[in-house]
Amino acid sequence: MDGYAQFEDDNSINQSIQMEYFDRDADSSQELQDSEDMIVRIGNLHKTYLLGLEGVPALRGVSLEITRGEFICILGKSGGGKTSLLNCIGTIDKPTKGDLYICGKRVSSKTPDSEVAKLRLNNIGFCFQTFNLIGSMNAVENVELPMILDGRLTSTQMRTRAMNLLDQVGMIDRATSLPSQLSGGEQQRVTISRAVANQPDLLLLDEPTGDLDTRNSNIVVELLVNLNRKENMTMVLVTHDVSLKKFAHRVVHMLDGKISRIEEIPQETRDEAEAKLKEALNSPEVQTEGFQQDTEVREPRSHYSFHKFAKQYEDTKQKLRQMDDSVEV
């Protein structure tokens, strides 16, 4: 695909930027002397939510290590702690007890907010089922948002990268559409583009195909498989859809706040699942099935939102435009 070739070029620029960034951080005293490939390291993690005067134990001693390039699928009954684990890994929630290292950095209740925000912006990409894009911004502006916050690329570079990312997910023709003008599947594809805009080390997905029809779900899964295979992007995917586990390297089964078992998926099974997925996507029968125009506007939840950055986006964009007259809008 052409978009991939362009993306690879774009990657090399961003990788060198990212390397500088890591170098700058190397002196931090909280740095874990782990291999660079240890993306997540969790030891005996506990998370208890306070509900009134009651404590609700969501995680009860979870230990897990995830290395670069792994595709992890988390399955389990409702209330088992899947989202709580993902939120702790994503630094949205701080653990009550236990060890948590993301990209070698220890995250605890004492970690300064600025450090956590930096991790979120540069190392972690999020993609959730029910709250996604900023309704007042079109697709390409939504994808640019994390790059604006990061502030390392020029306006032209951001627009080029955002368009490349949208191209990869087959959404280039809808770049100027508002979220409310896109179907659920299309919104999800834009969300994934935004989640990977700053080339995160780790992509976290909470039921990203949860409310999609088969066709859109297949498109999203293919996109994730490609990101994992071609970009070596580490992924943690929470789902209720058991059929997705065939695409993962390992499946973490959760029950009552604990890992009940970890299942390894043989490479053969993954290859077979990917071949079947490609077949389904190429089948004309499936292609005509199930497209629906969903006009729902999704608003991000308050605890993790780009919402508050909308004004900052406009101001920064304005300044960048003045500096860079060659921007095509």
Ligand X SMILES: Nc1ncnc2c1ncn2[C@@H]1O[C@H](COP(=O)(O)OP(=O)(O)OP(=O)(O)O)[C@@H](O)[C@H]1O
Q: How far apart are CA 36 and CA 224, in angstroms?
A: 22
Residue 239 binding ligand X, by CB under 6 A: no
- The HSE-up count of residue 210 (CA atoms within 13 Å, CB side) is 14
Residue from 42, 58, 62, 165 binding ligand X (CB under 6 A): 58
From 80-88, 95-103, 148-156, 306-314, span contacting ligand X (CB under 6 A):
80-88
Residue 41 binding ligand X, by CB under 6 A: no
From 77-85, 126-134, 177-185, 314-322, span contacting Mg ion (CB under 5 A):
77-85
Of 144 and 206, which CB lies nearer to ligand X in the complex structure?
206
Residue from 2, 27, 51, 311 binding ligand X (CB under 6 A): 51
Please list, in sequence order, all residues whose beta carbon lies within 8 angstroms of the beta carbon of residue 116, skipping any fewer than 6 positions away: 91, 107
Strand intervals (E) in 195-239: 202-206, 234-238
To the nearest whole angstrom, how small is the minimum distance from the Cβ of residue 171 to ligand X? 27
From 23-31, 50-58, 94-102, 116-124, span contacting ligand X (CB under 6 A):
50-58
Please list, in sequence order, all residues whose beta carbon lies within 8 angstroms of the beta carbon of residue 194, skipping any fewer than 6 positions away: 125, 133, 142, 143, 145, 146, 306
DSSP state of 240: S
Query: Among candidates 94, 86, 82, which has minimal Cα distance to 49?
Result: 94
The overall longest dimension of the chain from CA atoms, in Å, is 58
Residue from 66, 73, 76, 197 binding ligand X (CB under 6 A): 76
Q: How far apart are CA 204 and CA 238, in angstroms?
A: 8
- How many residues of this chain interact with ligand X, rule: CB under 6 A? 12
Residue from 83, 142, 187, 228 binding Mg ion (CB under 5 A): 83
Structure tokens at 4: 């991939």
Query: Among candidates 248, 255, 11, 200, which has minimal Cα distance to 90?
Result: 200
To the nearest whole angstrom, how small is the minimum distance from the Cβ of residue 129 to Mg ion? 9
To the nearest whole angstrom, how small is the minimum distance from the Cβ of residue 219 to Mg ion? 23
Please list, in sequence order, all residues whose beta carbon lies within 8 angstroms of the beta carbon of residue 283, skipping any fewer than 6 positions away: none
To the nearest whole angstrom, how small is the minimum distance from the Cβ of residue 83 to Mg ion? 3
Residue from 83, 164, 168, 218 binding ligand X (CB under 6 A): 83
To the nearest whole angstrom, how small is the minimum distance from the Cβ of residue 51 to ligand X? 5
76 touches, from ligand X, Mg ion, none (C-beta below 5 to 8 Å by class): ligand X
Burial string for 215-249 (b: 16+ CB within 10 Å, else e) reads bbbbbbbbbbbbbbeebebbbbbbbebeebbbbbb
Q: Which residue has the tokens 């990977």?
A: 196
Sketch the per residue contact string, 84 through 103, with ligand X: x for CB under 6 A, - otherwise.
Answer: x-------------------
291 touches, from Mg ion, ligand X, none (C-beta below 5 to 8 Å by class): none
Please list, in sequence order, all residues whose beta carbon lies within 8 angstroms of the beta carbon of residue 101, skipping any fewer than 6 positions away: 32, 34, 38, 40, 41, 42, 107
Residue 244 binding ligand X, by CB under 6 A: no
To the nearest whole angstrom, how small is the minimum distance from the Cβ of residue 221 to ligand X? 19
Of 83 and 122, which CB lies nearer to Mg ion in the complex structure?
83
Residue 84 binding Mg ion, by CB under 5 A: no
Full DSSP string of 256-297 = TTEEEEEEEPPHHHHHHHHHHHHHHHH-HHHHTS------PP
Of 82 and 120, which CB lies nearer to ligand X in the complex structure?
82
Write out the residues near Mg ion by the rule CB under 5 A.
83
Write out the residues near ligand X by the rule CB under 6 A.
49, 51, 56, 58, 76, 78-84
